[in-house]
Amino acid sequence: MSAQAQSFASHSRYVPLFHFVLAAILLANVVYSAVHLWRFHTYGAAMGFVLSLGLMILYWYARAFATTVQDRVIRLEETLRLERLLPGDLKPRIGELSRKQFVALRFASDAELPALARKVLDERLTDPNAIKALVKDWRPDHLRA
């Protein structure tokens, strides 16, 4: 867990070995395999290319599956938080929030969440970055996939 302060400008998380090194290695492997297949039309070259594509697909979905589960947990946590913090007139509207809105609202402090949730719902704000930019008292999230 990071002790570093978090804000709209610094909340993105990258794992260099995964996002940059592994991605570059896998991309280079696809390019190499494609060139090898182009030059040598063999069964081995074709299988090498198919395998390199499979590894790229695995890379993509490993990230997608992790973030999907993370978003489901965020939706659950934020639903419980909204039920606790929202005024009575807004509680029935919790179900109107989209996944992206839940994910963006999680950064709002308890004090500003009711007003921000009302604004998001009433003005139909859907852009997560626009919602996060409205947060004044940032609630950091250091446990992200």
pLDDT digits (tens, 9 = 90+) for 34-75: 999 999 999 999 999 999 999 999 999 999 999 999 999 999
pTM of the model: 0.77
Looking at residues 83-102, what average pLDDT do you find?
A: 95
The DSSP code sequence of 98-144 is -HHHHHHHTTB-TTTHHHHHHHHHHTT---HHHHHHT-SSB------
The label of the residue with tokens 């609202």 reads: 105
| pLDDT band (50, 70, 90) for residue 1 | very low
Hey, which residues does 108 pair with through a beta bridge?
138
Helix axes 43-85, 113-122, angle to 10 degrees: 110
Is 90 exceeded by the pLDDT of residue 116?
Answer: yes
- Rounded to whole angstroms, how far apart are CA atoms 89 and 43? 65
pLDDT for the residue numbered 141: 80
Is 80 exceeded by the pLDDT of residue 79?
Answer: yes
Q: Parse the chain into domains and list their residue ranges.
A: 16-71, 86-139
Closest C-alpha to 78, from 44, 49, 103, 52: 103
